[in-house]
Amino acid sequence: MNQLHTVLVVDDDKSIVELMKDFLENDGFHVKTAYETNQALEMFHTSKIHCILLDIMMPGQNGFEFCRNIREKSNVPILFLSARSDDVDKIRGLALGGDDYIVKTASPGEIVARVKAVLRRSNSQQESNRRILDYGRLSLDLSTREVFINGENILLTPKEYELMRLFAEHPKYVFSYEQLLEKFWDGVGDKHTVRVHLSRLREKIESDPNHPQYLINVWGIGYRFTGEANENNSHS
């Protein structure tokens, strides 16, 4: 199924681009490459891109700015691939909409595995029956992978959607940081990783993110989703 997926590799280091291109193609992916963000943006608008592997430090527009630009238009999975391992950069990348943050010391095989993991999450099979989870002003259409606030479709990244769905399907259940890291980040990361994504999700679904109605922090443990869903099933 990988042959259906096109990965855009964006990095000004040609040796890294060629290495990742070889490994990804060997695993069945189509690969497009760009050495600066203007070229990458043009490719994104003219080609069907399923995932972006993105360096941060590049001439001109850097990876953070590029990610912000893409997130205004699309929820395509974005994985940062950077030589910088600082928590500040990681948190910033995730806060801007990145689905993962990988340090370049990772092996090419591990990077390909992380690409496959984020694509599995974003391309999970749609249900044959339409299912709606209704929480008043917030609702989820599980068949189309859409989330609505007061009837308006809001744009979530693939990982944000999967987080939202997990919570919405298990109201009142407390998910620990460790459970969330294991499920969505293959156990790689820390509490900051979870907090950044949940904070970004709150910004999109809560009327007042500082006083959340839906995603509640359980001090020292993790998060829970409040409310009881009204689930409607209807055939497509």
- pLDDT band (50, 70, 90) for residue 232: low
Q: Kindly state the tokens that stand for 76.
A: 């395509």
User: How confident is the model over 8-30, as pLDDT tens digits?
Assistant: 999 999 999 999 999 999 999 99
Q: How far apart are CA 231 and CA 132, in angstroms?
A: 6
Q: How far from chain centre, in Å, is Cα 204? A: 14
The Cβ of residue 198 has, within 10 Å, a number of other Cβ atoms equal to 20
Q: Are 171 and 67 in contact (CB under 8 A)?
A: no
**63-71 helix and 87-95 helix, angle to the nearest 10 degrees:** 20
Backbone Cα Rg of the chain: 18
- The pTM of this model reads 0.63
Q: What is the mean pLDDT of the chain?
A: 87
**Residues with Cβ < 8 Å from 113, sequence gap 6 or more?**
none
How much helix, strand and coil, in percent to the nearest 5, is found in the chain?
40, 25, 35
User: How confident is the model over 189-225, as pLDDT tens digits?
Assistant: 888 999 999 999 999 999 999 999 999 999 989 999 9
The 8-class DSSP code of residue 173 comes to: P
Q: What is the pLDDT of residue 124?
A: 57
User: How confident is the model over 30-54, as pLDDT tens digits?
Assistant: 999 999 999 999 999 888 899 999 9
Mean pLDDT value across residues 217-235: 72
What does the buried/exposed string (b/e) look like for 96-130 if buried means 16 or more CB atoms within 10 Å of the residue's CB?
Answer: bbbbbbbeeeeeeeebbebbbbbbebbbeeeeeee
Q: Are 106 and 112 in contact (CB under 8 A)?
A: no
- pLDDT band (50, 70, 90) for residue 128: very low
What contacts 24+ positions apart, CB below 8 Å, involve 101-105? 104/16
Query: In the chain, what's the furthest Cα-to-Cα distance?
Result: 53
Is residue 193 classed exposed, middle or buried when 0-12, 13-18 and 19+ CB atoms within 10 A define those classes?
buried
